[in-house]
């Protein structure tokens, strides 16, 4: 299975090697003592609950680093729904290698599938509305590219990847610049000086800041901790103006409240919980022989 185009292969290998060094250290003493070096085995990674699988290509790369002689076959595609007892990965080869790589492979797969599963659940809840579900930068340091990839496999969309690919003016920027309008002007002036075109979003916390942002000509306005009724009011205001600015609801939005926000007609809903509060998807490796 090929590595997705957005995942840089050298970065992936370095990340997996670091994870294996952390777990194996000076050696897998238990496995070396209990499993003969020449012993062969067939094993499967199976789902233990209903959800969305993600990360088979990563597990293949990881087991290849453990033992290039292992035969590894992913049986489910990223983003595919799975049910209890479904096999997602099969392995054949040295039993020692399979058991030694087990925990690290499962750690990645369970997090990745957990993100994809949660994102799919949220997207399904609002599927009748024309709204995008987005992630945030609240990801595991060093693993952001994986976290954000998994969001897309659950049907969600990526917000900016980092500080470099979009200007997002948040409350501290506003405070330090002396107001919403001033912050926006300074960003536009900076981009003009650099000769760059970049999307600009501004976070607003009050109706007054919202009105100032609308008249400042940004691409997106993030309505931070606005109630459902306040978001709906903002949506109607922009519609009446015929403005092209896109509105984003954000701030402690949960699976319980996301549908109410989607009903407002807002264009985007960003949820940090997609990646910062992941429930691991239950997977297990079973040695059959």
Q: Is residue 244 flagged as an active site residue?
A: no
Look up residue 60 and give its two tokens. 């293949």
Annotated catalytic residue, options 28, 201, 203, 232: 203
Q: Is residue 78 flagged as an active site residue?
A: no
Q: Give the single-character DSSP code of 265.
A: T
Annotated catalytic residue, options 78, 102, 135, 224: 224
Cα–Cα distance, 282 to 166 (Å, whole number): 35
Cα–Cα distance, 47 to 155 (Å, whole number): 20
Q: CB-based contacts of 221: which residues, under 8 Å, 6+ apart?
A: 201, 202, 204, 210, 213, 214, 234, 245, 246, 247, 248
Q: Is residue 189 flagged as an active site residue?
A: no
Annotated catalytic residue, options 137, 138, 188, 207: 138
Annotated catalytic residue, options 170, 182, 207, 246: 170
Contact yes or no for 192/198 (Cβ under 8 A): no
Contact yes or no for 244/77 (Cβ under 8 A): no
Q: CB-based contacts of 241: which residues, under 8 Å, 6+ apart?
A: 214
Catalytic residues: 103, 138, 170, 203, 224
């Amino acid at each position: 299975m090929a590595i997705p185009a957005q995942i840089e292969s050298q970065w992936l290998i370095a990340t997996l090697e670091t994870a294996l060094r952390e777990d194996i250290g000076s050696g897998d003493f238990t496995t070396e003592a209990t499993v003969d070096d020449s012993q062969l085995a067939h094993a499967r990674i199976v789902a233990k609950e209903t959800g969305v699988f993600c990360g088979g290509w990563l597990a293949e790369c990881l087991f290849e680093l453990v033992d290039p002689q292992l035969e590894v076959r992913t049986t489910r595609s990223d983003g595919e729904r799975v049910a209890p007892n479904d096999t997602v990965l099969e392995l054949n080869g040295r039993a020692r290698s399979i058991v030694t790589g087990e925990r690290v492979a499962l750690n990645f797969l369970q997090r990745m599938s957990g993100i994809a599963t949660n994102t799919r659940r949220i997207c399904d809840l609002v599927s009748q509305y024309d709204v995008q579900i987005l992630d945030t930068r609240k990801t595991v340091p060093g693993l952001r590219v994986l976290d954000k990839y998994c969001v897309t496999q659950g049907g969600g969309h990526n917000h900016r990847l980092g500080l470099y690919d979009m200007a997002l003016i948040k409350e501290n920027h506003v405070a330090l610049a002396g107001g919403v309008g001033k912050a926006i002007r300074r960003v536009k002036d900076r981009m003009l000086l650099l000769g760059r075109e970049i999307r600009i979003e501004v976070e607003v916390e009050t109706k007054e800041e919202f009105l100032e942002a609308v008249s400042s000509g940004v691409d997106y306005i993030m309505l931070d901790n606005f109630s459902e009724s306040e978001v709906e009011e903002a949506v109607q205001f922009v519609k009446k103006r015929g403005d092209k600015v896109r509105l984003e609801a954000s701030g402690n939005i949960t699976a319980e409240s996301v549908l109410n926000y989607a009903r407002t007609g807002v264009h985007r809903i960003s949820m940090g919980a997609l990646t910062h509060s992941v429930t691991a998807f239950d997977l297990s490796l079973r040695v059959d022989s």
